[in-house]
Chain A
Amino acid sequence: KQEVTQIPAALSVPEGENLVLNCSFTDSAIYNLQWFRQDPGKGLTSLLLIQSSQREQTSGRLNASLDKSSGRSTLYIAASQPGDSATYLCAVMGAGSYQLTFGKGTKLSVIP
């Protein structure tokens, strides 16, 4: 059974800092891995999706990496802004599956 863990559970940084969020998963047989952003009381916004054959994806100030063999992914946020404050969720889709397995998220606060 796939399990996804995100560390840390919460993170507070001053504006302008670069930061890294971590995600680990127990079963390396995955189809893809996705990072989402969730704002309080809102839905999920997809940030980056990495296919199992890829090593990283970039979008603006965001960079996500995937090391499937070690069961790890990182989300790098450059030059953080207060608007980046949200909960970031990591989710994996198993090979041959369609279910997304989510971590509990990292709650990020960027202090002005």
Chain B
Amino acid sequence: NAGVMQNPRHLVRRRGQEARLRCSPMKGHSHVYWYRQLPEEGLKFMVYLQKENIIDESGMPKERFSAEFPKEGPSILRIQQVVRGDSAAYFCASSPQAPQETQYFGPGTRLLVL
């Protein structure tokens, strides 16, 4: 059973471009969470999704950020018009049945905005 997969592992964007981060949860997992780790900071919750539904996006910036988890395919975290402050590691986690079960983390995507 493959673990949580994220791609790309590293992403470089210039200011104003768009960044798309992908997350494939573990097989059988229907709950996906995105966290962001800014330099020298702890991981912070961004959004929680189930298939085709956003359950809680309270941790996500109101502008430029969006997330989806379609019926088919990976979960996508999209950042429009990136700024240097978006440079961070973005981690995806998944859990199998209930949202309070153990969350399994992917390797993360390191985003660098030039």
Q: Indicate with 1 or 0, residue by residue over A1-44, a CB within 8 angstroms of chain B CB atoms.
A: 00010000000000000000000000000011010100001111
Q: CB < 8 Å: which of A42, A89, A98 contacts B48? A: A98
Contacting pair B106 A98 (CB below 8 A) = no
Chain B residues, Cβ within 8 Å of A44: 43, 91, 105
Q: CB < 8 Å: which of A43, A99, A102 contacts B107? A: A43
Contacting pair B45 A104 (CB below 8 A) = no
How distant is A48 from chain B, measured CB to nearest CB, in Å? 11
Q: CB < 8 Å: which of B45, B100, B110 contacts A41? A: B110
Please classify how large the interface on chain A is, using the bins under 10, 10 to 19, 20 to 34, 35 or more. 20 to 34
A70 within 8 A of B: no
A-B contact pairs, 26 of them (CB 8 A): A4-B42, A34-B102, A36-B105, A42-B107, A42-B108, A43-B4, A43-B91, A43-B106, A43-B107, A44-B43, A44-B91, A45-B105, A46-B105, A89-B42, A89-B43, A98-B31, A98-B56, A98-B99, A98-B100, A99-B56, A99-B59, A100-B93, A102-B43, A104-B40, A104-B41, A105-B42
